């Protein structure tokens, strides 16, 4: 009688920023995954061991900016964490290169594929064709992180009767977010109040966050029939200095609050809300986290009213930003085995078996 040998899935991480670094750590600590490549864009990181980049012991995997050489080794999956916000065409080319090579992809970057049922046809077609030809699968989860916005509210709803609303919320001070370009140019902190930032246009909010509201509706069996978006903005009442980001002038954008309402049968059953500041003293009437400078919440209104607050602290990169990014990275990494076993094409949370951290258990 021969003993069946289970081979680890070979996984490459593409991008080593705020989500890529914890993704490296998550792959390295997963019993069923083997880190086989790390792709970077910074020349300064080329040649470094992935462990040095991620803040752990050496892995034996050396970072490269030659993505073709990594794909040529035919990993089972790529964890794609490079930004697509400011380089959409390049990111899409990266994605298609992976899928066309038959390599499964899990990612936090490609918002259009969060909920495949609402993906625009022009975005779906090239990805679907690549997957159909190669047999690869794509799974995208939100960076908010996605599991708080699409899975946790569904789980929490099971403890409530007479549900009137399921609301998810992020409260965060972006002075903690180590991406100065995104904070200023995409999110718009420090920009004039008469200029609406890229992130706060209705089409951007619809693209990035509405899919997670729709996923909750699909999971609950009462799908979203209409999305309503509301945005409020408040200027800074004082000039502040933020380490690593510079000066944010009084009178420029200092806080914003947006809300998506998902309607079913003319009732706003689902809500997703962001309360975002660059200065804790800005917008004092808006909600604050119970502790610290950032959290995620699930609020289910019914009997009883259920309030869940998630505050993550990462051992490697302390603070709300580090913990939130790590949980987003861990979610997609822990989904890799299920995605590799999934049908070809774009899959959502609802197409996969339960995602868990079983592969991350250190003992036993």
The CATH number of whichever domain residue 44 belongs to comes to 3.40.50.720
Same domain, 178 and 258: yes
Same domain, 125 and 152: no
Cα–Cα distance, 111 to 107 (Å, whole number):
9
Same domain, 177 and 82: no
Cα–Cα distance, 156 to 87 (Å, whole number):
36
Tokens 């490079």 belong to residue: 82
| pLDDT score of 2 | 39
Cα–Cα distance, 70 to 53 (Å, whole number):
17
160 class by beta-carbon count within 10 Å (0-12 exposed, 13-18 middle, 19+ buried): middle
Instruction: Establish if 323 belongs to a structural domain.
Output: no
Share of residues in the chain with pLDDT > 70 (%): 97
Instruction: Establish if 90 belongs to a structural domain.
Output: yes
Cα–Cα distance, 103 to 116 (Å, whole number):
19
Same domain, 208 and 279: yes
Cα–Cα distance, 112 to 31 (Å, whole number):
31
Instruction: Establish if 322 belongs to a structural domain.
Output: no
Check whether the bond before 187 is cis (ω within 30° of 0): no
| pLDDT score of 51 | 97
| pLDDT score of 321 | 66
**Closest to 298 (Cα-Cα) out of 167, 209, 210:** 167
Same domain, 133 and 162: no
Same domain, 58 and 178: no
Instruction: Establish if 233 belongs to a structural domain.
Output: yes
Across-strand partners of 139?
106, 347
| Domain, as residue range, for 285 | 146-316
| pLDDT score of 179 | 80
Instruction: Establish if 326 belongs to a structural domain.
Output: no
Cα–Cα distance, 189 to 183 (Å, whole number):
6
Cα–Cα distance, 363 to 149 (Å, whole number):
30
Record the tokens describing residue 50, joined without a space. 């992935």
pTM score: 0.91
Same domain, 26 and 126: yes
Q: How many CB atoms lie within 10 A of CB 269?
A: 23
| pLDDT score of 319 | 67
Same domain, 151 and 232: yes
Same domain, 82 and 155: no
Total number of domains constituting the chain: 2
| pLDDT score of 5 | 44
E-strand spans in the chain? 9-14, 33-39, 77-80, 104-107, 137-140, 161-173, 226-235, 240-242, 246-248, 253-264, 267-277, 294-303, 306-310, 345-347
**Closest to 256 (Cα-Cα) out of 282, 292, 281:** 282
Cα–Cα distance, 221 to 224 (Å, whole number):
10
Instruction: Establish if 154 belongs to a structural domain.
Output: yes
Which SS3 state, helix, strand or coil, does residue 250 take? coil
Residues 6+ apart with CB under 8 A from 162: 302, 303
Instruction: Establish if 4 belongs to a structural domain.
Output: no
Same domain, 98 and 227: no
DSSP code of residue 175: G
**What sign does the CA torsion over 35, 70, 179, 199 have?**
negative
Cα–Cα distance, 107 to 105 (Å, whole number):
6
In this prediction, the residues of the chain whose per-residue pLDDT falls under 50 are 1-5
**Closest to 167 (Cα-Cα) out of 294, 307, 287, 300:** 300
Report the length, in residues, of the chain: 364
Same domain, 311 and 339: no
Instruction: Establish if 275 belongs to a structural domain.
Output: yes
Same domain, 60 and 190: no
């Amino acid at each position: 009688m021969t003993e069946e040998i289970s081979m680890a899935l070979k996984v490459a991480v593409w991008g080593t920023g705020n989500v890529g670094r914890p993704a490296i750590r998550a792959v390295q600590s997963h019993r069923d995954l083997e880190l086989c490549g790390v792709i970077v864009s910074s020349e300064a990181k080329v040649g470094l061991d992935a462990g040095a980049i991620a803040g752990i012991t050496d892995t034996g995997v050396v970072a490269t900016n030659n993505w073709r050489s990594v794909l040529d080794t035919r990993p089972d999956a790529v964890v794609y964490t490079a930004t697509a916000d400011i380089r959409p065409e390049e990111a899409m080319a990266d994605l298609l290169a992976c899928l066309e090579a038959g390599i499964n992809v899990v990612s936090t970057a490609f918002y259009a594929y969060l909920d495949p049922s609402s993906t625009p046809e022009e975005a779906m077609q090239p990805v679907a064709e690549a997957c159909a030809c190669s047999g690869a699968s794509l799974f995208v989860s939100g960076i908010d992180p996605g599991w708080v916005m699409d899975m946790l509210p569904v789980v929490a709803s099971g403890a409530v009767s007479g549900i009137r609303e399921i609301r998810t919320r992020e409260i965060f001070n972006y002075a903690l977010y180590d991406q100065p370009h995104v904070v200023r140019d995409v999110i718009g902190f420090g920009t004039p109040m008469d200029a609406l930032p890229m992130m706060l246009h209705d089409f951007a909010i619809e693209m990035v966050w509405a899919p997670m509201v729709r996923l909750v509706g699909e999971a609950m069996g009462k799908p979203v029939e209409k999305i309503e978006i509301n945005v409020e903005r408040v200027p800074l009442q004082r000039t502040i200095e933020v380490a690593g980001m510079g000066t944010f002038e009084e009178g420029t954008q200092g806080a914003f609050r947006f809300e998506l309402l998902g309607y079913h049968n003319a009732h706003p059953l689902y809500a997703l809300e962001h309360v975002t500041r660059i200065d804790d003293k800005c917008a004092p009437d808006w909600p604050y986290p119970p502790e610290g400078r950032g959290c995620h919440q699930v609020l289910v209104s019914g009997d009883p009213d259920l309030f869940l607050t998630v505050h993550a602290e990462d051992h490697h990169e302390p603070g709300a930003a580090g913990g939130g990014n790590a949980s987003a990275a861990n979610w997609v990494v822990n989904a890799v085995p299920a995605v590799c076993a999934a049908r070809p094409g774009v899959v959502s949370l609802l197409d996969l078996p339960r995602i868990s951290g079983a592969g991350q258990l250190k003992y036993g």
